[in-house]
Structure 1
Amino acid sequence: MLRGGARNADVARELSIPVGTIGSWKHHDRARRGECPGRIHATCPHCDGTLDNPAYSYLLGLYLGDGYIIQPKGLRVPWLAVTCGATYPGLIDECEKAMRAVLPHNKPFRARKQGCYDVKVYSKHLWCLFPQHGSGRKHERKISLEPWQQAIVDAHPWDFIRGLIHSDGCRMTNWATRLVSGEKKRYEYPRYFFTNKSTDIIRLFTDTLDAVGVAWKQANSRNISVARKADVALMDQHVGPKY
């Protein structure tokens, strides 16, 4: 049906299968037949100087948090997938938008999973764009930025911070109690948290916070907190809660 030109949504309704699954199957089929989107565009957006740097800085943050690159056996082209919670449709849209900006000749798609979506894009240039890829989990191997990546992050630090927060962070309301005139009163205040098992990724996050003048504290080996009123206000201005 798809090869005959039927729309993904129509096939999904006809077979009672999630539209994200239909899209994934279609891309797998096109990849096996050598018809992946982007095949006609031979140059790498980084190497040919056409890379959308703000979008890349944001996508890099998403990748370091909840992204991975894989090339299943039998496929000629690898894919990048970023896992986004289904309760944040705005985040899913922003992730897809960033992928389109970074790889304008490739078409992202969404694969539905339990409680989340994998936003995916195929490209043979992923190895060049994300040299942090490697075997094993990120927190079990060294993660560092290439000089050209660091230059992009330095130029667009808030996009990078936003990507990291949108993947492995949150804006939450904390509370505390104090005795005032003998009475216990509850106080609430917002704060940002970033959680990651990789000490290297935590360092990239805190180094970038330092660069934009945001004070932070390390709650434990994997948690970074931003709680001062002025710093939270600055984070709200450039990052904001996930939605």
Structure 2
Amino acid sequence: MRNLLMTLSYDGTHYFGFQTQPGGNTVQDHLEEAIRHLTGEDVKIHGSGRTDAGVHARAQTFHFTTASQIPVERWRHALNGRLPSDIRITSAVEVPLSFHSRRSAKRKTYRYSINGNRVFDVFNRQYQLHHPGPLDVVAMREGLKYLVGTHDFTSFASRHSTKQSHVRTIYEARIEVDHGLDGAGTHEQGILHIYLTGNGFLQHMVRIIVGTLLQVGEGKRKPEEMKSILEARDRAAAGPTAESKGLMLWSVEYEDLAEAPDSAAKS
């Protein structure tokens, strides 16, 4: 048996998330069906994590074991020919049988995008939350600082979370503002990209953080309240859950791989 690790991108707009659901139409369903058509095997893939309905991925990873002897450099092309156009395999690499895409991951980064301009971008409306009202980005950046480190993120987790522990470590949190050529030098706010890198994330964690940060940006909360929200360990202490469409799984990082997933065979 061989263990293959693959990286893929997908537009989650029309899917009920990554992981298989009773109602079907998930990214995992389409991947497993494509593999079945290619090799005749009924495999179960294992993702580096799950994404909710409407959430996108720039670089999601998954692994599966196969008896197929198809050369690793041919898998990308073969599967992409059997997948919907909004799901693309970007790389494939063979890894040790002991490798697990979720348990072996060291760092994950999510990006949440907010369009702060008066008129939303028609071409990116499915990937950005439109918020035309003024936002205090300096205050939002200050609020983010309180989340860096190891904390109990119960306040920023869905009430339906089934994880035994809500302790997670955030390594980096930042906001980048893209004014673009049209917005530079004008009163337009531009596009705010919120990046969060950690060792793992809870259900709805990033979206609840964003929803709370928006309240900070609107002046409804002070930046230092992020600390007291963490300490409360109570979902009711935090803000609303931001819409799913602005969220994207940006990257998954591993150690001790002979070849990094995003630079693996791409022929």
Instruction: Give the structure-1-normalised TM-score.
Output: 0.25
By relative contact order (CA 8 Å, sep 6+), the higher-ranking structure is 2
In terms of fraction of residues, the more helix-rich structure is 1
Which protein is richer in strand relative to its size?
2
Bigger radius of gyration, 1 or 2? 1
